[in-house]
Structure 1
Amino acid sequence: MWRVVQDAGAVTARRPGPHAFRRIGTGTRLAFPQGTIFGAPWIELGDHCVVGAEVTLTAGMMPDLELGPEPVLTLGNGVVLGRGSHVVADARVHIGDDVFFGPYCYVTSTNHSYDDPAVPIGKQWPRSAPVEIGPGCWLGHGAVVLPGARLGRNVVVAAGSVVRGEVPDHAVVAGSPARVVRRWEPGTGWQPPLRTPAPVPVPDGVTPEQLVALGELTRGADGPGAGTLGSGVE
């Protein structure tokens, strides 16, 4: 019986239900139950998209606003949005072809401001900036993309990462805030992962000044690890 309900409640181009989307492409399907959807006349969904259950798609800060002649939220062809994801487009959000979201990702073009410490943050006027996610990207479970972010082509966002700013093509980013940990370069291929040097243990009774002096003495020495003690302290 549940499968019958799921099929009957799915949204497609032939069965848009109550949602007057600007466009629903051929083969695109929004699974039942849908999450919050408003501003549908300013939302374009490309061909052969898969939108999981309980996914939120919104254009505008609130329902029933007039948002002008251009689309605000655009999904390219072949986009997959995992269960429980949210795409909140106050300013323009564009998601390119063949972008895959894991479950519970969050993309927004609007965030709260914090200009007056005496006023509750939720009551302060938000700030907006367009978001663009290039074709072929993959966002892992729980990834967050903040206003103004621009992801290049074929970018991987690790699970739980928080992305802001610009991310180059063919990069792997991780962390909060997300940083590039690996990148593919034309002609040279994959570059090695960025590594943070391990902290240098400090022997008992040795002062930082003595360690710096020792590092200066060993900086030019031959052999593996030469000078690492000094550079680790400095």
Structure 2
Amino acid sequence: MLLFKIKYHIIAVFQKIVLKLIYRKQISFGKKTTWRSSFKVMIYKNACVNIGNGCFFNNYCSLNSNLNITIGNNVIFGESVKIYDHDHVFKKSSVLIKNQGYKAMKVEIGDNCWICSNVTILKGTRIGKNCVIGAGTVLSGNIPDNSIVKSN
């Protein structure tokens, strides 16, 4: 078990270096933030991702930023959590959706939250401090501090 943890911490350190080389000032990681396998980050031009201290991302998490994603301190993520601060514009039926661009709104996650497995966080979402977001929830909007949110 200890060798397993050491392996993933070493891989995460290497990936942090690579992500900093690719995205430079567009990405920041706090101290003791780490992840397991298949952690993915996509940051578009002029967008940014800021991750606080002591965060943990389980397998297959992804952050997709066209504007701004901010994650507080000591936030833990279950497997396969997806965060999007944008979505496609689809107003004109005569124009291909892929050619209509994006609409973006920042995503904020407060300190000391637990985002359970298979959660999808959509643009414009603000999650307060000390929140738990239940497995499989698709989330948008404002979630007050100390909330528990789950899907039926």
1:39 CA drift (Å): 2.5
TM-score by length of 1: 0.57
What is the count of residue pairs matched by the alignment? 147
Preserved contact between residue 106 and residue 145 of structure 1 (Cα < 8 Å): yes
1:24-79, Cα deviation, whole Å (9 max, x unpaired):
xxxxxxxxxxxxxx52441101111121211111221xxxx4x3xxx810110010
Structure in which a larger fraction of residues adopt helix: 2
- Structure 2 stretches of 5 or more lacking a match? none
Q: Does 1:121 align with 2:122?
A: no
Identity of aligned residues (%): 22
- Tell me what 2:133 maps to: 157
- Tell me what 1:10 maps to: 11
1:91-145, Cα deviation, whole Å (9 max, x unpaired):
1110000101100000011111221123332332110011100001111111011
Mapped to 1, the partners of 2:88 and 2:118 lie a distance apart of: 20
Q: Does 1:59 align with 2:60?
A: no
- Tell me what 1:101 maps to: 77
- Tell me what 1:136 maps to: 112
Mapping 1:36-75, distance limit 5 Å: 38-60=22-44, 65=45, 67=46, 72-75=48-51
Structure in which a larger fraction of residues adopt strand: 2
- Structure 1 stretches of 5 or more lacking a match? 23-37, 177-234
1:129-184, Cα deviation, whole Å (9 max, x unpaired):
111000011111110110110000111111111111100011111228xxxxxxxx
Mapped to 2, the partners of 1:155 and 1:17 lie a distance apart of: 26
Asked which structure has the greater RCO (Cα within 8 Å, sep 6+), the reply is 2
Name which one, 1 or 2, has greater alpha-carbon Rg: 1
